[in-house]
Structure 1
């Protein structure tokens, strides 16, 4: 996402929105039959809510990359688990 794509709204502006999209929002690409012929349903895995103590530096690193930092942390842990299972 580039900076020119970022739109900032105040809380009052968000609360007054009707939940629709911007009038000038671009249409997504046509995916076509080839895409749908090989499309695969991926069901999200169940997640467990836990309390986890981590180093401040580790948390700050992921948090500095923006929203989704907990998801990214989980992805790194999942990669580690999968690598350990392969070895």
Structure 2
């Protein structure tokens, strides 16, 4: 059966309030929302690459976005 063949008309949409109460789990373990501070050693060429690409958003934001995208795409 293809996704478009599934009738979802009787399943209510998930609300933003429900999403706020949802528990994120990684490998079955609950994970807190928000960010955590970590010290991280990276190869110099990696830092240079991201600094060159980051622009105004900042290198930490860009690295976080790239890692999050990698995780989301890997779990599909």
TM-score normalised to the size of structure 2? 0.50
TM-score normalised to the size of structure 1? 0.44
Larger Rg: 1
